[in-house]
Structure 1
């Protein structure tokens, strides 16, 4: 009886035990699948989060090329970072990207960025080589000398009509300068040309220029202020370059023609001197006593007279005989000295 009961009990509980075991096994498998699925979903979510990482606006953008890319404007721009979204400003110039436009671009490319206010701006600066006016002038001057034989050997100075002219060449291009269509008027020394930068480049900037070619000459000028009546010495002068067109017709250009002369008026330092501003030094002053000589064969006559006017070396002045009061002409020969010829002998008596 008892054995039958155990057998029956075992037979009765066996299906229940097997069902429980099967449930446990299937439950563990289901849990494993669930865990695996959960892990895959976590990896996928992590990957998605890495791709969709919030973008950050770059407010100060500096570029060298012709186009502005999405990656120039936003950090974490994703797979479209190299996509050109705007044209770059001119070399050396700056443009502003406004908040509303930036928001539209971010939405169009699925970026996690939105402007918080209208002050969310970005400035784009196009980097450039700056070619100054001095370099442009030198390039023009070299081209003018090379292409005009009549200017060879001349000392020249170039004056641009636009003295503030400068050129901006993109930073990613060579900073070279070329000159084209150069023309010089030989009568007026006026010139015109095109400045090209970069030189021999298919997309070079061409700027029209014009100006004046000045021929230079070295001129002696006072190195100090020379007062009226002072004798000009070699140490009182220095040589400077001046534009020939700015000099008067009677300007003294040879220092030898100036040294030893007396200033008829005050001579300003650094200014060219005209021939009418100087004279031979005064050796005889008006009203001063003069020793007058008459030289003849085997005879020398001297007399004292009073100068009626001032005179320098070789000047002819009037002199009054102090004894007879007769007036005669004599040639100044030195300081307080003059000479007469034979017909004036009577005046010495």
Structure 2
């Protein structure tokens, strides 16, 4: 008799203890999960043996969703979890963590899809893709491939506005579709100086950086390649970081005004040379006036090198005569 009473009391005490533990479970109003499902263990701080019971599917990586409290209550009762909705919740918010697909990957996919639709881009241009919210915000599961594929695209070539539906990861046909919007426009990389350079200074490769400009701002007179800049000298002071015009640059001066130069006239086997004084400064290929030191006549020639001027036709015969009259050597 006493043993039976003791057993009954023990059973009641154990049941009370279990009920007390179950009743202590507390519902979390917001949770974040990493996997594809939401379990009782995710949403209750003490779900016990029922922690692995699935309540709902999780939202896509990087997104949030809601689960109604009535659905949660049903799952909790079926699995022996007693709790009180003291906060009066009607739903909880569930977020799913994920890994960002690199912005460059998304932009490249969008640019490729637009280029496949339009062939009117300038030859030297690339397509710049800017997202409406500053970022694409595409995420995939943490263990998934970080890639996207454009499934649908709407593009307005007049203002560059686009709307795209993408799949991420690209090769997972069960992955959710995401809608992103933004603007795409052609840009061109142009070289600029990293320091201020004065006339007479020669631009070196180490003096050059690159900036990206909308193609509409790059006229045919803008410097767009290294050969147009390296080894050149500005006609006027050139400021760092600003696009340069072809007309701003020239080969470095190799003949200074007032310098002594060697003049050469070549006609067949005949070669005449004489000394003169440059009346103009010039770079290789420039036409300069030179005063013959002996005849005191002015002739025009083409700068060929440092303090070297070639006398050419038209007027070559007259120039040769002037050289001869000055005692030129053959």
TM over 0.5: yes
Residue of 273, 280, 289 corresponding to 2:251: 280
Which protein shows a greater Rg?
1
Of residues 263, 286, 302, the one that matches 2:274 is 302
Describe the superposition over 1:202-256 as per-residue Cα deviations: whole angstroms up to 9, x where unpaired: 7835313233154666x666677654213446x5577968568254313445544
State the match for 1:137 in structure 2: 107
1:309 and 1:61 mapped to 2: Cα distance?
Answer: 80
Out of 158, 161, 176, which is 1:204 matched to? 176
Give me the whole-angstrom Cα distance separating, in 2, the residues matched to 1:58 and 1:321: 101
Q: Hey, what's the Cα distance between the residues in 1 that align with 2:31 and 2:152?
A: 38
Residue number in structure 2 paired with 1:48:
15
Unaligned runs of 5+ in 1: 1-33
Instruction: State the match for 1:13 in structure 2.
Output: none
In the aligned structure 2, how far is the partner of 1:211 from the partner of 1:262? 38
Q: Indicate whether 1:128 and 2:103 are aligned.
A: no
What's 2:131 paired with?
161
TM-score, normalised on structure 1?
A: 0.58
Match for residue 38 of structure 1?
5
* Cα distance between partner residues in 1 of 2:142 and 2:191: 47
Shift of 1:52: 1.4
Structure showing the higher helix proportion among its residues: 1
Report the RMSD for the aligned CA atoms in angstroms. Answer: 5.4
Between 313-322 and 194-203, the greater mean CA deviation after superposition: 194-203
Aligned match of 1:25: none
Deviations 1:106-165 (A, max 9, x none): 9x96947686xx7xxx986523214343442244345556777899x9884542232322
CA gap of 1:172–1:58, structure 2 versus 1, over 3 A, is farther
Separation (CA, whole Å) in 2 of partners of 1:174 and 1:72: 28
Which sits farther off after the overlay, 323-332 or 168-177? 168-177
Report the secondary structure of 1:49's partner residue: helix
Structure-1 separation of matches of 2:292 and 2:184: 62
- String of CA shifts for 1:20-79, please: whole Å, max 9, x gaps: xxxxxxxxxxxxxx4365245324413532441232426584445676749832526898
**Corresponding residue for residue 317 of structure 2:** 342
Q: Is the 8 A contact 2:165 2:177 kept in 1?
A: no
Which gives a bigger RCO, structure 1 or 2 (Cα 8 Å, sep 6+)? 2
